Structure formats: C-alpha cells, structure tokens
Amino acid sequence: MPDTNQNDRVNDAADDQRFTDEWERWHARHEAKRADRHGFLAITSINWLNDSSQRFTDAPGEWRTDASGVHVDLAEGEEIVVDGRPVSGSYDVGVVPEGEGVFVGWGDASIEIAKRGGHDIVRPRHPGSPVLAAYRGTPTYPPQERWAVPARFVPFDAPKPAAVGAVVEGMELLFESPGTVEFALDGHALSLVVFTDPPGDGLWVLFRDTTSGVTTYAACRSLHTAAPAADGSVVLDFNRATNLPCAYTTFATCPLPPPENHLPIAVEAGEQLPR
C-alpha cells in the first residue's frame, strides 16, 4: 500500500525547492542590476543645481538650471552623447519631471540628470567607482514560504498624494497612494500604506520592522508586488524585500516609510545589512 505521508513529504520538498530556485533566480537578477556598471553603486557624487553655472570634477561642462530646465555648456574639446549622437557646445536638457531622470554619455561614464524633491541634480556614474569595485553582494535571510503572505488590497475612493521624508535632511518626496494592504502575520493584524509602482500596475511598499538597524538596513526596506486580483487579493512576499540605494551610497535621496508602515514585528526575510 502506498505511503501517502511519504508522497506528501516528497511533494512538499519539491515545492520548497521550486520556491527556493525561483527566489534565487530573482535575487541573482536583482544583484546583477544593482552591480551594473552604470547602476547606483557607480555614482561618484551628487550635485545640486541652481541658476549659477557649476563645474564638477567627475562630469563634463558647466551646469545650471532655471524655469526652462537644465542646461550644460561644454568647453572646447568636451563632448557628451545624447541618444547615440555626440553633442558639443551647449545643450538644453529641458525640464525633468519629479522623480524621473535622463542620462547622457561621457566616455565610459553615464551622467544622470534628475529631479528629486523639487531640486535638479547631476549624478555622474563611473564604472570605476570605488563603491562598485568593492561590492561583494548583499546577504539575505534564507527564503521561506511562510514569508509570502496573503493580503487584501483596500483601495481609497481615489488615489491620494502621500508626502514622505527622505534620507536628505529637510527633503520631502511626493508619491501617489491608491490604498492600503491588510494582512495577518505572527498573530498580528497589520496594514501598510502602499504606493503606485511607477513601472507598471503593481504596488510598492516602504516599511520598517523590529529588525531595522539590527540585522537589516535602519532607514527602510522596499517591496514590490504584482497588481491585486479583481477581488483585491495580493501576495506580500517579504523574501523579496530589498535595500534602497541609500543603504550603499551617501549620494542617494531615498524616501523614508510613512509612520503607519513601521511594523511591530521582526520580518526576518529579504535583504539584510550590506557588507
């Protein structure tokens, strides 16, 4: 007579392995993106623009900003690459929308022009950055299915603007919040304010928990989800909680979680403190 308990154990072990394999593939992709030669680990400075021309040691040209956007004046012999085309002389980047950025090439570097908290910034990204050269990966908790938590999305009547602080003192960042997610974990009824995930129709969460500043990055961690189902169901897979750029570099303007997103439990899943 077949041993059904043994079959169940074999099936459970196979499911666990599939879960782990899928997580490992996801984290390998995430690490590869983080360690890209022009990723945020390659940033060598953050420069705040105003209406006076400024030159930076790790970027070409003199930079300024005004009501019509960002402008750069290149000296003789200096050249940037815009959409694959070499540009010399003066170049008008134009108005960069809040939270977005554009990139131009300069030799083997990529120069980011972005707007954060209402301020235009220039952040050069060099493949030879010491931070990038020293990066050896981010430790994580072992993936466990218990941390893939069923939740319910509770929409607001209409999306609301949500202002949050930032790691840059005095800066305020504005996001759109479509609602909250409610879930139960370790006997606690919990909820998190969620933001619209810019790349698609999913949700984005910033949170802290009792591991923050102990085994995980103190400021916050970030979690992306797929779009909720028609009935509002969604999975919060805390195994995929990741560090923001500010965990690695001082040249970041990362947002901080709203007070409602400070969880009173230890989320021992996802990325830990960087080495």
- What letters, b where the CB count within 10 A reaches 16 and e where it falls short, cover 5-23? eeeeeeeeeeeeeebeeeb
- Predicted confidence at residue 212, as pLDDT, reads 98
Confidence of residue 4 (pLDDT cuts 50, 70, 90): low
pLDDT at 9 > cutoff 70: no
- Predicted TM-score (pTM) of the model is 0.90
- Residues 48-87 pLDDT 10s: 999 999 999 999 999 999 999 999 999 999 999 999 999 9
Share above pLDDT 70 across residues of the chain, in percent, rounded to a whole number: 94
Beta bridge partners of 81: 86, 105
pLDDT at residue 15 in the model: 73
Domain ranges, ordered by start, for the chain? 40-134, 137-261
Between 241 and 6, residue with greater pLDDT: 241
What is the arithmetic mean of pLDDT over 238-250? 97
Q: What is the mean pLDDT of the chain?
A: 94
**Is residue 199 predicted with pLDDT exceeding 90?**
no
Looking at residues 122-131, what average pLDDT do you find?
97
